A = this chain, B = another copy of it.
Amino acid sequence: MDSNQAPDIVVGRLPIYLRALTFMGEEGREITSSQELSERLGISSAQIRKDFSHFGEFGKQGTGYEIAYLRDQLKRILQVERMWPVALVGYGDLGHALANYGGFAPKGFEIVAVFDNDPAKIGQQVAGKEVLSIAELATIVRQKKIKVAIMAIPSSAAQQVANMLVDSGIQAILNYAPINISVPHNVRVQDIDPAARLQHMTFYLK
């Protein structure tokens, strides 16, 4: 089974399944079903079973899924049984919030370096780290073997910083600038644009 054949939209749902399973595990639950996941997540149980089938056999007909086992399998598939060091570029209000966010570590990510180009911010301390000059980006990314970066910077700087990240060896970028950045085919980008997500919803409002 070549799991790289799973459609990207299916891959994008795996973290949502993992989130729900982790939550159920913390509730002390041991067994779940595609029906229960369906009710929790608003995804049809047939879709859930089909999504899982891309990656193997995780449950037996009629007995449901063992939560801890399925959770650990999803962690393995998503490669988050390990901790990924992350570079954060941009130490404005959003960068500050991200540097202090407690939600990354339990999911397999640790921001190990924070960069900005503002001399007034360079040298500040945040969550046990020092804000560094963007001029040090390539050196630190290589030294710490960082593959994942978060860009929390204005649109006007986004392409230039993305180029720097790619040149330094970054392979995955979480981009908060509301603009499409161009990267080589071997680099992954996910965009977070809250205004676009609000517009998605206003389509439906009466």
Tell me the A residues contacting B by CB distance below 8 Å: 4, 9, 11-12, 14-16, 18-20, 23, 40-42, 77-80, 84, 86, 92-94, 96-98, 100-101, 103-104, 106-109, 147-148, 150, 171-172, 174, 178-180, 188, 190, 192-206
Contact = CB atoms under 8 A, between A and B. Distances in A.
Which 5 pairs, one residue from A and one from B, show the smallest C-beta to C-beta distance? Answer: A15-B196, A107-B195, A93-B97, A172-B201, A15-B199
A95 to B, nearest CB: 8
Residue from A92, A96, A172 with most neighbouring chain B CB atoms (10 Å):
A172
A11 B80 contact: no
B98 A96 contact: no
A205 B41 CA distance: 27
Given A103-B195, A190-B200, 9 more contacts: A11-B204, A12-B200, A16-B180, A80-B202, A94-B101, A97-B97, A107-B196, A188-B205, A190-B201
B192 A204 contact: no
A196 to B, nearest CB: 4
B198 A107 contact: yes
B14 A199 contact: yes
A180 B196 CA distance: 20
Contacts of A18: 199
A107 B204 CA distance: 16
A169 B200 CA distance: 19
